[in-house]
Amino acid sequence: MLAKAVPRPCSGAGRHGAPAARLWSVGVAGGPRRGGAGGRLVAADAGERMTGSEAVPVVAVAAGKQPVNGSAMAGIDKLVTSTVGKSTNVLWHDCPIGQFERQELLNQKGCVVWITGLSGSGKSTLACALSRELHSRGHLTYILDGDNLRHGLNRDLCFEAKDRAENIRRVGEVAKLFADAGLICIASLISPYRSERSACRKLLHNSTFIEVFLNVPLEVCEARDPKGLYKLARAGKIKGVYWN
């Protein structure tokens, strides 16, 4: 069993020259970032009080954002919150360990490989084969399979147009997190609409989005019909099966 390390103050220099995990820079929009201009923010441990030169100046409020007084973070007089979708008074918290550091640790670059195609075209099979090959070469991957996700994350969604769009949106957001974590994320979904795939692509500002279309003829997919969907659709028992 590993012995618990005795807490001690951080006095050494971090990789960018600042005291490790203690010294930050606060930008004009209120978000802490490394090496930027702005007021100094020194983290306080529980029970510590920050006075004198450690006091943090009031953070400037960006246009359209709401300042909040009485922050739980020691030494901060005002924080900037935003409204995102239906969520109000939310604040983005940055961490000193970012995508760059995670990618250095894994010795790979995070990205998303998005596999699209008809049911029965081989998306899941290709995703697994790709993951196995990358794993054998020492790369960390994770597969987001459309059917697998409907066992958990998307179990509340049906196959109507509105829910299909939400299904793709959720997968895109999760894929973005995996890529940000430095993983090679392999998503395999029918995802028939270009607009929805493009929306997922736009989520990845700092990672690569690779789209793979399995151009397998309908008659081949229908002959395979691994889930019996085409047979049920032909019999008029289910709707929403994409034929092209």
Q: What's the pTM?
A: 0.67
Residue 197, domain CATH: 3.40.50.300
CB 186 within 8 A of CB 133: no
Query: Is residue 225 a part of any domain in this protein?
Result: no
Q: Supply the pLDDT for residue 50.
A: 41
| pLDDT tens track for 58-90 | 344 444 555 554 445 554 556 788 998 899 999
Residue 11 appears among annotated catalytic residues = no
Residue 32 pairs with which residues in a beta bridge?
26
How many separate domains does the chain show? 1
**Helix, strand or coil, per DSSP, at residue 107:** coil
> Looking at the DSSP assignment, which residues form a beta bridge with residue 24?
41
H or E element, residue 90: strand 87-90
Higher pLDDT, 201 or 207: 201
Q: Is there a domain that residue 87 lies in? A: no
Q: In what order do the strands lie in the sheet with 208-213?
A: 141-145, 184-188, 111-116, 208-213
Q: Is residue 178 part of a domain?
A: yes
Distances (CA, A) of 117 to 78, 121, 157, 194, 197: 49, 6, 20, 12, 12
Name which of 13-17, 78-82, 196-200, 236-240 the model is least confident about.
13-17
Instruction: Work out the pLDDT band at 47, boundaries 50, 70, 90.
Output: very low
**Any domain includes 79:** no
Residue 61: per-residue pLDDT: 44
DSSP character at residue 52: G
243 band by pLDDT with thresholds 50, 70 and 90 = low
The catalytically annotated residue of 191, 195, 198, 207 is: 191
